[in-house]
Structure 1
Amino acid sequence: MTSETLFYCILGIIVLHFLLETTLDVLNARKFSDPVPEELENLFEKSEYLKSQQYKKTNFRFGLLSSGISLIVLLSMLIFGGFGWLDSLVASISPYPIIQALVFFGLLLFGADVLSLPMSYYHTFVIEEKFGFNKTTPALFFADKVKGWGLMLLFGGGLLALIMVFYQWAGTDFWWYAWALIAAFSVFMNLFYSKLIVPLFNKQEPLEAGSLKSRIENYAQHVGFELKNIFVIDGSKRSTKANAYFSGFGREKRVALYDTLIEDLEEDEIVAVLAHEVGHYKKHHILINLCASILLTGLTLFILSLFLNQPQLSLAIGVTTPSFHASLLAFGLLYSPVSEVTGLVMNYFSRRFEFQADRFAGETYAAQPLIDSLKKLSRKNLSNLTPHSAYVFFNYSHPPLIERIRALHAPKTIR
């Protein structure tokens, strides 16, 4: 296949992906005004529901604008030789391939983030502010950006440099070593993300002794779940939206509750949410997801090794001197349809896992408190109660609220 053919393939993939996402967004937006399912009719007051409708429509219009700008920038980079210009720039900075790759991707990602900064700022301080969600300050917003860039440089740059060392040493067999490296990194981050990364952005404090902690510990003991680490995160300094998550495994497992979650829910509802998270652990969902991610990474790296030495990849994006970093970028663009398919599969199983975790919570604690918590969180977050089925299929990692409630009322239907 010639570089010209690959060029048009890349253009076609980018445009078709944009059209697919836009079509799904439009289909979903047309469902905004559908009648609310009977089980959810009393979830919102009329004024609240009108507010949620407006929030969804505002985000829909903003998403169209944002994705349209991204499409124009990416197509411009391809059509007008932006990637070739960037490659020439990094070649003038250093003759060493590893440094060239680091500078190439560093400038590319940093530039993309800077270009998207006005949109991100607008979404946070105009849209989220307007609908009562934003609690962050401009200083905190930019501090988060700087920290994010630092982490990208440290971890992203470090991994890329090591992968290139493997490539220079082992040739096309580099993928074995890169796979082992990324697998080890994934396991490490899964174990220690909450200890190492979260404190850079949020304060984590152990849940204070009291009625809630006692009820959580009693439940954990009831289901044979050893739980020593229960933390409260100050999510309220950025947003009013509530959340909870489970991370790690073995001795490093911990539950994190956002302070907004504790403020919004009753104690039995919080325990039900935690029971759901414990369900993920008991059903081995965390380990399954980790293993699936590692296997997919191995498959991707293997396919990459088959194409990496093809100069047509670099030429297809306008880089006249073939290189590792240009081939990697071109491969990423060409591989995106495969990533889309694997993402669909992962989302499908993620939704099934959510049903299973809900069922576990219903059977080991109680279904009604979990239902009440899901309703409160949906109301608090102005969630979409009538999503389009196609949009759910392509984009949702969690089932829609109505499906979760119906499954909890009849948990034996979920296997």
Structure 2
Amino acid sequence: MSADAILNPKTEDEVARIVRDACEAGRTLAVSGGGTRSGLGRPVEADTALSLSKLSGVTNYDPSELVMAARAGTPLAEIEAALAANNQMLTFEPMDHRPLLGSEGAPTIGGLFAANVSGPRRLSAGAARDSLLGVRFVNGSGEIVKTGGRVMKNVTGLDLVKLMAGSWGTLGVLTEVIFKVLPRPEATRTVVVRDLNDAEAAEAMASAMAMSVEVSGAAHLPVSVSYKFGDLFDGQAATVLRLEGLDASVAVRSERLVAEMGRRGAVSVLNAQASAKVWRDIRDVMPFAAQRTKPVWRVSVAPSAGHQLVAALRLQTGVDAFYDWQGGLVWLQMEADPEAEMLRKYVKALGGGHATLVRADAATRAALPVFEPQPAPLEALSRRIKQQFDPRGILNPGRMTVAP
């Protein structure tokens, strides 16, 4: 695809015209924001690239209402700067994929919601889609659709907001998003329990989450991963538990958590600065950022099953891993082959879940089901929805599944 084939509309009406013309001509479009996540999903082969990077700007923000609206191409950095000026933040701590994928550019707010990107705070605050209040988008026929306004034929009853989040630009081109935000916590501390094995860490995290101390992040870094955080954990495995809120409250809750976790191993407490660094690196999967030729999986399972999955895989193949979301999110780095069939077999045997291939070369991503294959009834429903939103299949063809 040549550089002159990239279209950069500046208004929603321009987006609608471009999509409408493409639909009438039967031309496919590769839809993106800042392009930082273009290496995720199956490779898109399209006639023209449609970038939303020029469709930018905050359209409404009332800090007292904890709600912001912005055009889809608005850089995430601009959003976060506006929020920080009012001591507020996004609720779901979105991951920056650039270190892991080696991509460039600037993440956009529309791309974030299109991929439903969430980080460690997903455990307590929900996913990106849970913060999304409204959307405007252009469907595959070039029609402008907004929540609370026009209802598309034969899709009455569908939650358009939730449907667009995580659709990866295959159902419509997001043009504006409205989302809720939260006050930034006054204080942050992270309780560290050292030298637990994976099974012991899973029990410790479950115990911490069951306490009334409001843990906002729970992760476990085995020795193979913890040493990549420098001398912070003294070369030992580290189970990290984050507390946030008012300073006095965090101090009291920290004392309670330290007392409980002290029964399981040596305990220390990280201050706000060290905590921010640790959780940013966990969020962005920094332990696996260096070796970009190795495949990386993002696996969601029951928190009690995460360490069992890793143990089973280690008996069969080379794998490195660490755990977020109380053990329910497992980041896996494979030595060479993604081992998709084996991995998904074990996930199914442990009660089910979702395995997404986050990093691999284009040929591998084209050959494998990158996203978790859907059961037949759900796949049929997805195809019907795709037909309603994008009848000619022109938007990001093949991104999530093989194009029909």
TM-score by length of 2: 0.27
Higher percent of residues as helix: 1
Structure 1 or 2: larger strand share? 2
TM-score, normalised with respect to structure 1: 0.26
Question: Which fold has the larger relative contact order, with Cα–Cα distance below 8 Å and residues 6 or more apart in sequence?
Answer: 1
For the pair shown, the structure with the greater C-alpha radius of gyration is: 1
